[in-house]
Structure 1
Amino acid sequence: MHRPHLSSFLPRWVALASLALLSACNTPPAKIKVYQSEGFEAAETYSRLFDAPVEQTCEAARRALLSQGYVVSVIKPDAINGTKSFQPEGDVHVQIEFHVVCASDGANGKIATAYVSALQDRYALKKSPNSASVGVSAIGSVSIPFMSSDDSLVKVASETIPAGPFYDRFFSLMHRYLREQAASE
């Protein structure tokens, strides 16, 4: 009986090891989960402290949203929601949905914190071409495309707008409305 020599396995082993090494190099790096990048940094908050009671703080938020063209859908003494639509390109639609919650800070109720977050949804136009078939006995059936009425917007992205200048501008406008309100009293 003939036993295979170790040297006959060596080329196969080298080939398999090389193949394993190459496949390991082609493996994409592990993706970081979205929640792992949440820093919960004290400097990057979605809130501001205001020198006014809850009702006045939320009223300033309502006026700030209305002044910028937002459609206010929820109006409560301690919460405001508003939306605004944009069309930056012909086949793209963007909608920003604002959420404001006002909470009392301090024992006397004369200070409030406004917590704000804005969600941006992006939609793209999905065209659904339709066609009609016409039967002609001499040549068979012919498909003729016609204008579609089944076009629809499809959500392609959704994200919370990150803390930063966007919210800073909103809070500055709220401060302005609160100063105007205090001056009129």
Structure 2
Amino acid sequence: MPCLSIARCLGACGLLALLAACGAPVKQFPLQEKFDSTATYSRLFDATATQTCEAARRALLSQGYIINTARGDLVEGQKSFQPEPESHLQMVIRVVCAPDTTDGKVSLGFVTALQDRYALKKSNNSASLGVGAIGSVSLPFSSGSETMVKIGSETISTDAFYDRFFDLVRRYLLASDWIEPEP
């Protein structure tokens, strides 16, 4: 009977450990999305969706962005930054242009900027070489490698950032032959 009581004891201890783990608090993150303002990420333009996206493409090009996608309803560009020797930032800006009126002469531009952060990770690798004809001789070889590792990603939510972008898009629309300047 002593084995049975030990098994019960171990079973009870295991159950208690499981229940204790279940009771451990789980880290909760505050809700980040509010869905309260459309003014940050979108603007109305007195232009067609195609004209708005073309102005957005020119705005991105004027700031050194590489254009990944350019269509009549979508523009996406990216730009890389290196603020410190061992860190790297990559910004991707995506603009979606949609007609807002039935005649298509007014459009909405929706913009989102995503910034990814990377850090340099160093790792040491070592290997040895055994030569069987001479005997058991091992010669150590070591090398190091460096890789950029993504450490974070964030949607830019600063109103001033988007205000400056939309102002630049508006300037390209006004500079084009498509739009008459407002009196």
TM-score normalised according to structure 1 size: 0.72
Match of 1:99 in 2: 94
* Structure 1 unmatched ranges of 5 or more: 1-26
Match of 1:40 in 2: 35
Task: Select 2:176's aligned residue among 150, 171, 181.
Answer: 181
Deviating 4+ runs (over 6 angstroms): 27-30
- Give the distance between the partners of 2:104 and 2:141, measured in 1 at CA: 69
Match of 2:28 in 1: 31
Match of 2:151 in 1: 156
Match of 1:79 in 2: 74
Letter in structure 1 aligned against 2:56: A
Cα deviation per residue 1:105-137 (whole Å; 9 max; x = unaligned)? 1121110000000111001111122345589xx
Match of 1:65 in 2: 60
The 1:162/1:184 distance shift into structure 2, 3 A limit, reads: closer
- Give the distance between the partners of 2:116 and 2:40, measured in 1 at CA: 21
- Give the distance between the partners of 2:95 and 2:46, measured in 1 at CA: 17
TM-score normalised according to structure 2 size: 0.73
Task: Select 2:48's aligned residue among 44, 50, 53.
Answer: 53
**Structure possessing the higher radius of gyration over alpha carbons:** 1
The 1:51/1:44 distance shift into structure 2, 3 A limit, reads: closer
The answer (yes or no) to whether the contact 1:44–1:163 under 8 Å persists in 2 is no
How many residues align? The count is 152
Task: Select 1:115's aligned residue among 110, 116, 124.
Answer: 110
Letter in structure 2 aligned against 1:95: Q
Q: Does 1:172 align with 2:167?
A: yes
Letter in structure 2 aligned against 1:42: S
